[in-house]
Structure 1
Amino acid sequence: MDQMSAIPLSGVPFPKSEYERRQQKVLQAVTSAGLDALLVTALGHARYLTGYYGGGTYFGPFPLILAPGHAPTYVVREYEVQTVRAYSCVSEIVPYTQERDFAKVCGDVLRGYGLHNKRVGLELRCWNITPSDVYRLEAELPEMRVIDATELVGSVAAVKSELELEAMRTAMAMTEVAVRKFQEALRIGVTETEMSAAMHCAVKSAGGEDLRLVSLAFGERTKLAHGLPADNPINCNEPAVTEIGGMKSGYAAGLVRTAVIGQNAEVESLVGLSNEALDTAIEMIKPGVEAEEVHATVRKVIERSGRPQAFRNKAGYQTGIHWSERGNMDLVPGVKQILKAGMTLHMPIMLFGEKGHIIGCSDHLVVTELGAKSLSDAPRMLYRV
């Protein structure tokens, strides 16, 4: 019996063939970029390619080495080898014992693959690799040319397979459970902490894996971007804003929703403007549109309203594993990346009020050949109690 098969509740969430498909797509992108190999260090990108969730990587970089003609190779902390083997589809695993050993061990693998004097891509703008790691690796292999390949895996992961889309639909179903609880439980005096507990409980009761709570704030605390729950009660005529996402196999499907107890003219106006900007952007999203065009469309709607300073964020971003990852596509000025069918986008249009409250809503979209389609049936309009 395989040693790993005896460990209960381990394994990868998708068939091995799905990971092999992803790896081959990335290797094609490596060749197209004129690279000889790629070291994947971003947790989201590594999980996308292997299934491994990334526990223990705080210790030091766990690079996944992808090179044409070689099996995918994971260079990991020796303490984590069994866990990486149990939760990934990678069979070639090379351990290092202490953090200071990383550069030598990784350098030995690259040297053994004949990459010591080649063009090797690193995810230089992503988390989980430091300048010190790069300097030490360059000292180990002085003839190797390090190339910034931060966006390479993200460009492949942007287009989802049907298996991924199904995971995101399942995640969205749990997001909608949490949204309904957010609305049902809202009453004068309830605190953010109590609301958070209620939403998590509702998702667990519905059979969900987990709920990612990015923000939850009431009243004056809606001036905080990504504010975490506190023992802060909501009062009459105050807003409540939450950004939440159900989870499935590492995939998250986020939504932003706003509610108000009583009346609040500014909150109502900002949510209305947020929806107008979203509707306008959704109408123009289709394959072939540049990412920056979506942001420009949202910006024009906000500017026409006479409140250009209200919009201080990006129009949206590519989604998938780990909610978002540095190196993935943003819908911001200067990004020329072309939208393709199968991409998923979270578009939180968050607007600043005159007194600093951050109010808005979002939609989570999949790009299809016919345009954009929402993954959610949850109404976007302001919820009133």
Structure 2
Amino acid sequence: MDRLGHLRAALAAQGLGGALLTLPAHLQAYAAARVSAGALYVAPVGATLLLDPRYASAWTPRPDTALRPYAHADDFLRALLEVIPGGSRVAVHADTLNYALGKRLEAVGLELVPADTLISGAAAAKTEDEIATLREAARITDRILQDVLSDLRPGVSERTLRAEIDRRLTAEADGPAFGTIVAFGERTALPHAQPGERTLRRGDLVTVDAGATLGGLHADLTYTVAFGPHPVAREWLALTAEALRAAEKVLRAGVSAAELDEAARAPYRAAGLDAFTLRGIGHAVGYELHEAPILREGSAVTVPADTVVTLEPGVYVPGTGGVRLERMLRVTPQGSELLGGPRLEEALA
């Protein structure tokens, strides 16, 4: 069954007449439309893609999806009401549906049903082509991060290093997947540090978190290294590598987020550092940087086969610094396939 088929089956099981998707990531996942605006209505039979005519050339026609161009905002609403049967119960991704559009659709008698988990879940499993693209995006990211980390020099600023990473991501892929994180020294204790003018000194920890975008799909990898001797770097890197190995060991189709998180958390707890970790282990990646399932502490959500996830254990001690290692993996019924990220034996070198 293809992705639209999975979505239709999930809609039918919930007694929903169709689904209205407006998030650009969903338009690409469900209709292969790489555009910044539009909508897709998925009916029990067939689907209709609504696009501004200027975007029509960015979409390759598909036998299961009709194209309905619209000229402006009012025409967009008319087009939606043409393709959505009156009085329908329609699944929507409530977290991203435009509020004003939702109110106008409800005003004409449509019942909009929040179905974020259903919509995201049906797109969680990736095709072989998508996995190949994610593997290549990870490979490009690995190469760039390994290159810049092997050429660190005292005095370089976080902002300058970020600019070089982003330059290469733009030259070698479709650009950065998100705002690249670079942190030196005590600022590595900030999980999502914004690069600033802090310059590199001997004895600093260095964390870089970056990803290439390729074909609309996002890579997300993190490396931490010590730039010269550091009092706790080796201990923290060894502990984080142990946490990552433990999570990867239990990763398989059907595993719960809670089980993955606990596997990674146990080494930190044994070392008395659990209070300095985040309350989750990672997330899925794809057409969005953070896709379902989100792998939070205590969550019963499970991971489907052919999902691509990141596992990113870390320890963050204010005033001292932090360590994070993040790898991307394809989930299989038997376990996982590593797509990219730091080599754990090299992290300790």
What's the TM-score once normalised by structure 1's chain length? Answer: 0.81
Residue type of the alignment partner of 1:138: E
The 2-side partners of 1:322 and 1:228 are apart by 21
1:53 to 20, 30, 34: 34
Match of 2:157 in 1: 191
Match of 1:371 in 2: 335
Aligned pairs (5 A) from 1:1-385: 21-55=2-36, 57=37, 62-69=38-45, 71-76=46-51, 80-89=52-61, 90-95=65-70, 97-98=72-73, 102-103=76-77, 105-110=79-84, 114=85, 116-125=86-95, 127=96, 129-141=97-109, 144-203=110-169, 207-212=172-177, 213-325=179-291, 328-333=292-297, 335-355=299-319, 357-376=321-340, 378-380=342-344
- Percent identity between the two aligned chains: 21
Contact between 1:246 and 1:253, CA under 8 Å: does it hold in 2? yes
Specify the SS of the correspondent of 2:183. strand
Contact between 1:173 and 1:246, CA under 8 Å: does it hold in 2? no
The 2-side partners of 1:195 and 1:318 are apart by 27
The 2-side partners of 1:224 and 1:84 are apart by 43
Indicate how the Cα distance of structure 1 residues 369 and 105 shifts in structure 2: closer, same or farther if over 3 A, else same: closer
Q: Please give the per-residue CA displacement for 1:22-67, whole angstroms capped at 9, x wherever unaligned.
A: 2233222222332110011222222111222332x3xxxx331101
The 1-side partners of 2:344 and 2:59 are apart by 37
Specify the SS of the correspondent of 1:375. strand
The 1-side partners of 2:80 and 2:337 are apart by 43
Q: Please give the per-residue CA displacement for 1:341-366, whole angstroms capped at 9, x wherever unaligned.
A: 31211111132114263421111111
The 2-side partners of 1:97 and 1:356 are apart by 54
Give the superposition deviation at 1:330.
0.8
Specify the SS of the correspondent of 1:121. strand
Indicate how the Cα distance of structure 1 residues 278 and 377 shifts in structure 2: closer, same or farther if over 3 A, else same: closer
The 2-side partners of 1:74 and 1:140 are apart by 21
Give the superposition deviation at 1:302.
2.2
The 2-side partners of 1:382 and 1:188 are apart by 22
Give the superposition deviation at 1:85.
4.2
The 2-side partners of 1:198 and 1:354 are apart by 27
Give the superposition deviation at 1:370.
2.4
Residue type of the alignment partner of 1:132: A
The 1-side partners of 2:57 and 2:2 are apart by 19
What's the TM-score once normalised by structure 2's chain length? Answer: 0.88
Contact between 1:187 and 1:261, CA under 8 Å: does it hold in 2? no
The 1-side partners of 2:60 and 2:190 are apart by 38
Contact between 1:341 and 1:369, CA under 8 Å: does it hold in 2? yes
Specify the SS of the correspondent of 1:239. strand
Of 38-47 and 209-218, more deviation after overlay is shown by: 209-218
Specify the SS of the correspondent of 1:53. coil
Contact between 2:237 and 2:347, CA under 8 Å: does it hold in 1? no
Contact between 1:309 and 1:352, CA under 8 Å: does it hold in 2? no
Specify the SS of the correspondent of 1:151. helix
The 1-side partners of 2:50 and 2:8 are apart by 18
Number of aligned pairs? 345
Contact between 1:167 and 1:251, CA under 8 Å: does it hold in 2? yes
Contact between 2:190 and 2:316, CA under 8 Å: does it hold in 1? no
Contact between 1:181 and 1:202, CA under 8 Å: does it hold in 2? no
Residue type of the alignment partner of 1:122: V
Specify the SS of the correspondent of 2:344. coil
Give the superposition deviation at 1:107.
3.2
The 1-side partners of 2:341 and 2:284 are apart by 20
The 2-side partners of 1:185 and 1:196 are apart by 14
